[in-house]
A and B are shown apart, each in its own frame.
Chain A
Amino acid sequence: MRVLVAMSGGVDSSVAAALLAQEGHEVVGATLKLWGGEVGSGCCSAGDVRDARAVADRLGIDHHVFSFVEEFEESVVAPYVAAHAAGRTPNPCVECNRHLKFAALLRRALRLGFDALATGHHARLALSPGGRPRLLRGRDRAKDQSYVLATLTAAELSRVRFPIGELTKAEVRQIAAGLGLLTASKPDSQDVCFVARRSAAEGGSGGRGEFLGRRIPLHRGRAVSASTGELLGEVEAVELVTVGQRRGLPGGGRARRYALGVDVAARTVLVGGEEDLYVEEVDLDRLSWVGEPLPAGAGCLVQTSAHGPARPARVRDAKVRFLEPARRVAPGQLVACYVGDEVVGSGVAR
């Protein structure tokens, strides 16, 4: 089989390429250049390209750099900025998988005559009795990345491979070290790749405020008690507040306070106590199913962040109803539905 491996320059995709090559497939590596690169951003740096190329050389496979800068700006960065401007909390990694890796890149791979696209995600694929691909959590539960893949459909998955899904991170590093790959001990990537990282000492916002501030106006806002309407103080930028967050909200006192809602137009953040944080339902946009839709009212497990807990719920008419009240889901976050370890579908919290 001819397989194109998306190589980020990290250890997971390095080992993914190595395993496929060992299995005897015709493997070609590709590193995506997604971002023009602002100084200090961790994404698609020349160093990552160099690492990916060095690994490819070591494995004796061809390596290319594919530029998807325009698509990335259009389908990941611009929506990310627009979501914040609307007071939502976007999930750019999900959108990158949805529009870039498993759309634009997958289409390119097929156009170029590859049979499949492989990535270094910690997720597993299996076949249903009917031969339909099923998406399962990665073996290493702590590193599982099935959540950010939950928008994929069976049609896409039929052309995708996740070679390291059966391995733990420790095993991945061990294999990389055994093969003498220079990425063996490279730290895991984190944060939003196109936003320059900033340490807590420098302000702690991870550079998000600075990044957004260059693209949209950020507004000071009022923090208002959700129950009494009382003005509690100010927030520096309503666009940067995420529903459910505690940090950065005004008001001392003993009670913990959380953001319950963001209204950018009114420059207002609704604030409440922990007891106000829990909801029974979340409405979904952009509902999509990996294969067959769940029957209305069917039970499943719902996960609302990359490594958060999965809670029992029922799904009906683009609405998730938790069996036990759960913490509010920030609008814009992906809501992934599982049955056991299998991803069955997803939607975006309204």
Chain B
Amino acid sequence: MGAYLDHAATTPVRAEVIEAMLPFFSDSFANPSGAHSAARRARRALDGAREELAGLLGCEPWEVVFTSGGTEADNLAVQGAVSGRPGPVLVSAVEHRAVLAPAQLVGAQLVGVRPDGVVEPEALAAALDACSARGAAPTLVSVMLVNSEVGVVQPVPELLGVVRERAPEALFHTDAVQAFTWLDVAALTAGCDLVSLSGHKIQGPKGIGVLVVRERAARVLEPVLRGGGQERELRAGTQNVAGAVAMAVAARLAAAERDEVVARVAELRDRLADGLAESTGALEPAPRRLRVAGSCHLRFPGVVGEELLLLADAAGVAASTGSACASGAREPSHVLLAMGWDRRSAREAVRFSLGPTTTAGEVDLALEVVTGAVARLRRSA
């Protein structure tokens, strides 16, 4: 048996979710836009999922726009806002590439973070003021709720307050893809104009995501995908009914179990982080209290993370450096560089990420394997 400690990359789909989505591949396969009774069945299921998610996200059902995943939701937020209302975009320097890449395409300004990874409200205020001083009212501000690499929770309510005060016209987007398992997203994103979520990070399937588009944003946003006018004309394409249903079930279960999961996983995470700190001298770049329960991001001085992962993998322990590109090559983490790390230190980082299915046995295996691998790599350095 191995240990899967890469839940921030993706999570296993839970049985209840698979069960819930199966009918939409067989009996209820119809296109929800159709005019016949089979289509109506599919549409009812889609609307049901939309309502359920709206309840869990603290928004209205019509504000839930289904997408193909978190990346598309982020792209729709950024590209859609800018094409609807051209103007300056400010994003944090530690955003996921799904926000950074489209933002950089329109020349977005990056807002730096503190060494602990947090975007300070004062820093955002200064950036907004500088923007206004140049006579340009910002179109969009985007700061993620939970960082995908180091797990740091950003003070989104405070940041939203700053934006409302300094740039009342600007839309505020938050990428909450890494948050839902651990945090009350509805409460923390209340009032945000745009919120991105992904199904497969919460034990749902890949290929489904949501962009919450609140009224203020809906007036501005232009679609990225055009065609049949689905999803309030914000996202064309036949809806992924099975995916939407699955995401709703996954979210419902995650929300119901959240308190229990957070308490249990935090304990496992502490055991892993404390254990590795003791056995290997691993360092924690960001304080644990700022991070979600599943995040165990460590730096192993004198060890190349890439090498550690290889040895760990060979012994059945799956983790990540948190910054792999599609080719599989480690890239210097833009998150760690933004936090002030040098490139050498950045390559000593490894992201273990735990999830609701993580067991004590997996943590014990990881402790044993990683301790041994670090010792071996240091011995032969």
Cα(A129)–Cα(B326), bound, Å: 48
Cα(A50)–Cα(B327), bound, Å: 8
Interface stretch, picked from B107-115, B191-199, B219-227, B303-311, is B303-311
Asked if B257 is at the interface (CB within 8 A of a chain A CB), the reply is no
Q: Which residues of A contact B307 (CB under 8 A)?
A: 108, 111-112
B326-341 CB mask vs A (1 if < 8 Å, else 0) is: 1111111000000000
A56-75 CB mask vs B (1 if < 8 Å, else 0) is: 00000000111101100000
Beta-carbon contact of B328 and A112 below 8 Å: no
Cα(A171)–Cα(B331), bound, Å: 37
Interface residues of A in 83-130 (CB under 8 A from B): 108, 110-113
Asked if A17 is at the interface (CB within 8 A of a chain B CB), the reply is no
Beta-carbon contact of B311 and A112 below 8 Å: yes
Asked if B381 is at the interface (CB within 8 A of a chain A CB), the reply is yes
Cα(A49)–Cα(B325), bound, Å: 12
Beta-carbon contact of B304 and A33 below 8 Å: no
Beta-carbon contact of A49 and B328 below 8 Å: yes
Beta-carbon contact of B329 and A67 below 8 Å: yes
Beta-carbon contact of B344 and A70 below 8 Å: yes
Beta-carbon contact of A64 and B311 below 8 Å: no
Number of A residues whose C-beta is below 8 Å from B?
Answer: 15
In this complex, the interface size class of chain B, counting residues with CB under 8 Å from chain A, is 10 to 19
Picked from B304, B328, B381, the residue with its CB within 8 Å of the CB of A65 is B328
Q: Which residues of B contact A64 (CB under 8 A)?
A: 310, 328
Asked if A46 is at the interface (CB within 8 A of a chain B CB), the reply is yes
Picked from A49, A111, A112, the residue with its CB within 8 Å of the CB of B381 is A111
Cα(A294)–Cα(B223), bound, Å: 73
Asked if B126 is at the interface (CB within 8 A of a chain A CB), the reply is no
Asked if B187 is at the interface (CB within 8 A of a chain A CB), the reply is no
Beta-carbon contact of B311 and A33 below 8 Å: no
Picked from B326, B329, B343, B380, the residue with its CB within 8 Å of the CB of A33 is B329
Q: Which residues of B contact A67 (CB under 8 A)?
A: 306, 329-331, 347
Beta-carbon contact of B329 and A65 below 8 Å: yes
Cα(A73)–Cα(B310), bound, Å: 24
Cα(A64)–Cα(B311), bound, Å: 12
Q: A111-B377, A111-B381, A112-B310 are in contact. Are A49 and B329 (CB under 8 A)?
A: yes
Query: Which of B304, B377, B381: most chain A CB closer than 10 A?
Result: B304
Q: Which residues of B contact A33 (CB under 8 A)?
A: 327, 329
Beta-carbon contact of A46 and B310 below 8 Å: no
Interface residues of B in 327-381 (CB under 8 A from A): 327-332, 343-344, 347, 376-377, 380-381
Report the minimal beta-carbon distance from A215 to chain B, rounded to whole angstroms.
Answer: 18
Cα(A303)–Cα(B313), bound, Å: 45
Cα(A108)–Cα(B376), bound, Å: 12
Chain A, residue nearest B330 (CB): A67
Q: Which residues of B contact A65 (CB under 8 A)?
A: 327-329
Beta-carbon contact of A66 and B306 below 8 Å: yes
Beta-carbon contact of A111 and B330 below 8 Å: no
Picked from A50, A69, A108, A111, the residue with its CB within 8 Å of the CB of B332 is A69
Q: Which residues of A contact B376 (CB under 8 A)?
A: 111, 113
Q: Which residues of B contact A110 (CB under 8 A)?
A: 380
Chain B, residue nearest A73 (CB): B343
Cα(A66)–Cα(B377), bound, Å: 16
Query: Which of B327, B330, B332, B347: most chain A CB closer than 10 A?
Result: B327
B285-322 CB mask vs A (1 if < 8 Å, else 0) is: 00000000000000000001011001100000000000
Picked from B304, B327, B329, B343, the residue with its CB within 8 Å of the CB of A108 is B304
Report the minimal beta-carbon distance from B141 to chain A, rounded to whole angstroms.
Answer: 29
Query: Which of B310, B331, B344, B376: most chain A CB closer than 10 A?
Result: B310
Beta-carbon contact of B327 and A46 below 8 Å: yes
Q: Which residues of B contact A112 (CB under 8 A)?
A: 307, 310-311
Q: A64-B328, A69-B332 are in contact. Are A111 and B306 (CB under 8 A)?
A: no
Chain B, residue nearest A34 (CB): B329
Cα(A329)–Cα(B372), bound, Å: 51
Q: Which residues of A contact B328 (CB under 8 A)?
A: 49, 64-65
Beta-carbon contact of A66 and B329 below 8 Å: yes
Cα(A113)–Cα(B308), bound, Å: 12
Q: Which residues of B contact A111 (CB under 8 A)?
A: 307, 376-377, 380-381
Interface residues of A in 4-54 (CB under 8 A from B): 33, 46, 49-50
Cα(A110)–Cα(B311), bound, Å: 12
Cα(A66)–Cα(B331), bound, Å: 10
Cα(A137)–Cα(B310), bound, Å: 34
Q: Which residues of A contact B327 (CB under 8 A)?
A: 33, 46, 49-50, 65
Cα(A213)–Cα(B376), bound, Å: 44
Q: Which residues of A contact B331 (CB under 8 A)?
A: 67
28 A-B pairs whose Cβ atoms sit less than 8 Å apart in the complex: A33-B327, A33-B329, A46-B327, A49-B328, A49-B329, A50-B327, A64-B310, A65-B328, A65-B329, A66-B329, A67-B306, A67-B329, A67-B330, A67-B347, A69-B332, A70-B332, A70-B344, A70-B347, A108-B304, A108-B307, A110-B380, A111-B376, A111-B377, A111-B380, A111-B381, A112-B311, A113-B311, A113-B376
Which residues of B does A touch, CB under 8 Å? 304, 306-307, 310-311, 326-332, 343-344, 347, 376-377, 380-381
In the complex, the 4 A-B pairs of residues with the closest C-beta atoms, listed nearest first: A33-B329, A65-B329, A65-B328, A111-B380
Given contacts A66-B329, A111-B376, A112-B311, 7 further A-B contacts (CB under 8 A): A65-B327, A66-B306, A70-B332, A70-B343, A110-B380, A111-B381, A113-B376
